[in-house]
Amino acid sequence: MTRSKQWILSIIGILIVLVFLFPVYWMFITSIKTQGEIFQTPPTFWPHHLYGKSYTDILSSGVTRNVINSFLISLVSTAIVVVLAVPSAYGLARFRISGMKFFILFFLVTQMLPPTVILTPLFIVFSKLGILNTYIGPILASATLGIPFSVLVLRTYFLGIPKELEDAAQIDGCNRFTAFVRIMLPIAFPGIIVSAAISFLFSWGDLIYSLTFNRNQELWPLTASIYNAIGRYGIQWNSLMAFASITVLPVFILFILLQKHLVKGLTAGAIK
């Protein structure tokens, strides 16, 4: 590749990144503008006066509780997804199971259904179990969406790992379980990280499940508490964008910390 072509592709890549990041930038600067400057014409790309009252109002309104709720729901849901999806994906990849194609097709169908389709059945089931207005409802609902996706991703990952590695481990004295724990899991670690990160993202961004299964606002996550920025006489856009900025921040930190594993996990098996 010539140097001029490299420069052109780099410039195109930078422009694409800027286009995708501009809404995030606009969200942040809107959160530090006054309500009058937000509707100013022409719009300002940087506030004349930094307005931090929207953040102080949010922090004083008890948003810490909502942050804890979001982390609790997301982390527990992600743990359930990983614990159930990893062995399930390994079993579908390594064992000949009758009706395996049906299971895989069933997992694919679940990814095509919008959350509103399964909302009513889940509400009836959770009502019968008596777990409405608890953390358990949103956790189980988020895990319900995350498990099929993770199984589909990890199954293809396990299929790409040579079976001879397990055979060699069994020759050296490992049984199937120890070979799975000591050999397969470390190799599949990037894929597990990808599944866990995406499951965490699904749970963190959940809104409909938390609003439906929890009427107690003390149990609401950050995404549901954004409604507090909507006043009686209108929307406080700076407060709303401040809520959104606080909600997006953990996702940015997560992807920055796990960037290496995410890229490796998403590109693994691409050549195959």
216-236 pLDDT, tens digit per residue, is 878 888 888 777 666 555 677
The model's pTM? 0.80
Q: How confident is the model at residue 76 (pLDDT cuts 50, 70, 90)?
A: very high
The dihedral region occupied by 269, where left means phi > 0, alpha psi between -120 and 50, and beta the remainder, is left
Mean pLDDT of the 183-189 span: 84
CATH 1.10.3720.10 maps onto the chain at 60-267
196: amino acid identity, one letter: A
Exposed, middle or buried, 98 (CB in 10 Å: 0-12/13-18/19+)? exposed
CATH superfamily of 60-267: MetI-like (1.10.3720.10)
Exposed, middle or buried, 264 (CB in 10 Å: 0-12/13-18/19+)? middle
207: amino acid identity, one letter: L
Q: How confident is the model at residue 166 (pLDDT cuts 50, 70, 90)?
A: confident
